[in-house]
Chain A
Amino acid sequence: EAGVTQFPSHSVIEKGQTVTLRCDPISGHDNLYWYRRVMGKEIKFLLHFVKESKQDESGMPNNRFLAERTGGTYSTLKVQPAELEDSGVYFCASSQGRGLGTEAFFGQGTRLTVV
């Protein structure tokens, strides 16, 4: 069974440019999450989809970030325009349920560097 897949694995862009990250969750997982880790800091929650609906987007830092999940399958996270402080590793995770003990499976992350 394929795991959570993210691409690109690395992206280097200039300040002011746009970048789109993609996440393919495990097939059949309704729940999809985005997290990010800024250098040296903890991994922070960005948002949570249930199928195509945004369940919780309380962690989105500002309106330069736009997440979508068309048809409840893969998700994209667009940063426009990118700023230096957006650099970090963006993780996607998916899970089948949301009850106690539900495990979220993580992708390998996309390392974004804004220069």
Chain B
Amino acid sequence: ELKVEQNPLFLSMQEGKNYTIYCNYSTTSDRLYWYRQDPGKSLESLFVLLSNGAVKQEGRLMASLDTKARLSTLHITAAVHDLSATYFCAVGDPGTASKLTFGTGTRLQVTL
């Protein structure tokens, strides 16, 4: 059974600082997603990572994937208050075309 571990669960950081959220998964997968959720809103797709060494960047967020280590990271550069949200990684279950297994989520709070 695929397991996805995400840490930290909660992250409070000051504006301007850098930090990394980690996502480890237990079995080989061919796709990994990062989502953002604001309170009461839907999950917004941030990144889709498909291959070893994949790196994608959007604004102050950068995601990477190491399939050999079964690890993805979401790096936040020079955080701003607008980045406060809950971030989820989700891994495609091997052998299925579409089912996702989610991490527990990281609640990010960026303070002034």
List A residues 20-50 near B (Cβ within 8 Å). 31, 33, 35, 41-45, 48
Question: How far is A91 from B102 in the complex, measured between Cα atoms in Å?
Answer: 13
Q: How far is the CA of A81 from the CA of B10 in the complex (A)?
A: 35
Q: Which of B30, B43, B50 contacts A106 (CB 8 A)?
A: B43
Give the docked Cα–Cα distance between A55 and B50 (Å).
23
Question: Which residues of the partner chain A approach B102 to less than 8 Å between Cβ atoms?
Answer: 35, 42-44
> What is the interface of chain A, defined by CB distance below 8 A to chain B?
3-4, 9, 31, 33, 35, 41-45, 48, 55-56, 59, 91, 93, 95, 98-109
Question: In the bound complex, do residue A105 and residue B45 qualify as a contact, i.e. CB atoms below 8 Å apart?
Answer: yes
Other than the given A100-B31, A104-B45, A105-B42, 17 more pairs (CB < 8 A) read: A9-B40, A33-B99, A35-B102, A41-B104, A42-B102, A43-B90, A44-B102, A45-B93, A45-B99, A45-B100, A56-B96, A99-B97, A104-B100, A106-B42, A106-B43, A108-B40, A108-B41
CA distance A4 to B45 in the complex (A): 13
Asked if residues A91 and B98 are in contact (CB atoms below 8 Å), the reply is no
Is B101 in contact with chain A by the CB < 8 A criterion?
Answer: yes
Question: Does A31 lie within 8 Å of B98, measured CB to CB?
Answer: yes
Instruction: Assess whether B4 is interfacial by the CB under 8 Å rule.
Output: yes
Query: Distance in Å from the Cβ of B49 to the closest Cβ of chain A?
Result: 9
A101: which of B4, B31, B93 is its contact (CB, 8 Å)? B31
